[in-house]
Amino acid sequence: MVNKDDVVNAYRYILGREPESDDVVMTHMSAASLEELRIRFLDSQEFSQKYSRSGAVDIEGFMLPQDMPPLSVDIEADPQQMQALLDRIKREWEEFGEKDPHWSVLTHASYKKKFISENKSGFFESGRFVANIVRAFSDRNGVPVENYRSCFELGCGVGRITLHLSQIFESVIGADISKFHLDVCREELRQNGVKNVSLNCITDVRQLMELPRFDFFVSMIVLQHNPPPVIKFILECILDKLNPGGAAVFQVPTYRRSYRFDLSEYIGCPSPLHMEMHVLPQSEIFSILNNSRCDLVEVREDGWADGRTPNSLSNTFFVIKK
């Protein structure tokens, strides 16, 4: 699973330089997994000398400082603007889904359409890690997932995580804005004999507001691809549908240096197809939770958006509905 690009990127992102030769790249390609490759670099003497204090890793160098300035972020949109935002997201993600569905979920060269057949099992196995995180958050806070029957997964894509959630919950609703991703997901569920998952293509405001009630909500590396007013609206709709005593694990980037979002400017200047990355400030999420009668039980910094860097912040939230 380790290729030349993985090794070169490890040199660039972990050691901050280019590899000294093709021979050393070939040597590191012997790593059995990306995890082993990562550990090799983090345990190296060069990394320790560059980023350590007295042999201990300088964590502050990998974290956003506490004196960062506020962001200018529009978070409100009227119904017409909201639908225009959803229509734009739909166009982008249907194009991703039609051209390269697996790669658009995990942007690794191995998951491009021309390589996916040989790497498909690893792609879907990677979803188990997210399911384990869901279970761990719940267990740590004394509410095991076995206590819940129904789950709603936002942004199920091609079913990478959905397959594993189906083994935890009695029923799962997988929702996505791209019909092409859902077509792949549907076939994957069929091939695996999964019968307790229903799929829902959500493309307008009404569908979000008419979701059925459920016990558990899961969403990872999805909300970040939506503009801030959409993130806010989605969270409000979904948490409203969460049953009393229900729980949720979801991830949102909450800060990025120099990020700004002007709604009028954004709607007035459509951009070419690209994988947008957005932010919803942490204070806005706390406000949404309070208004939705949800208790914030645990919040963790994570590396889902850009990795852990001094330029951005992403959080995973665990909440319980009162």
CA distance 154 to 176: 6
Q: Buried b / exposed e across 267-295, counting CB within 10 Å, b at 16+?
A: eeeeeeeeeeebbbbbebbeebbeebebe
Q: Which domains does the chain have, with CATH numbers?
A: 4-57 (no CATH), 72-321 (3.40.50.150)
pLDDT band at residue 287, thresholds of 50, 70 and 90?
A: very high
pLDDT of residue 321: 98
Residues 6+ apart with CB under 8 A from 238: 152, 154, 208, 211, 217, 248
Using alpha carbons, select from 22, 38, 181 the residue that is nearest to residue 96.
Answer: 181
Question: Once rounded to an integer, what is the mean pLDDT over residues 90-104?
Answer: 95
Global pTM reads 0.84
Mean pLDDT of 154-166: 97
φ, ψ for residue 94, nearest 5 deg: -70, -35
Q: What mean pLDDT do residues 262-272 have? A: 88
Q: How confident is the model at residue 44 (pLDDT cuts 50, 70, 90)?
A: confident
pLDDT, position 38: 86
* pLDDT of 51 higher than 80: no
The confidence band for 26, taking pLDDT boundaries of 50, 70 and 90, is: confident
In the prediction, which pLDDT does 313 show? 94
> Per-residue pLDDT for 63 more than 90?
no
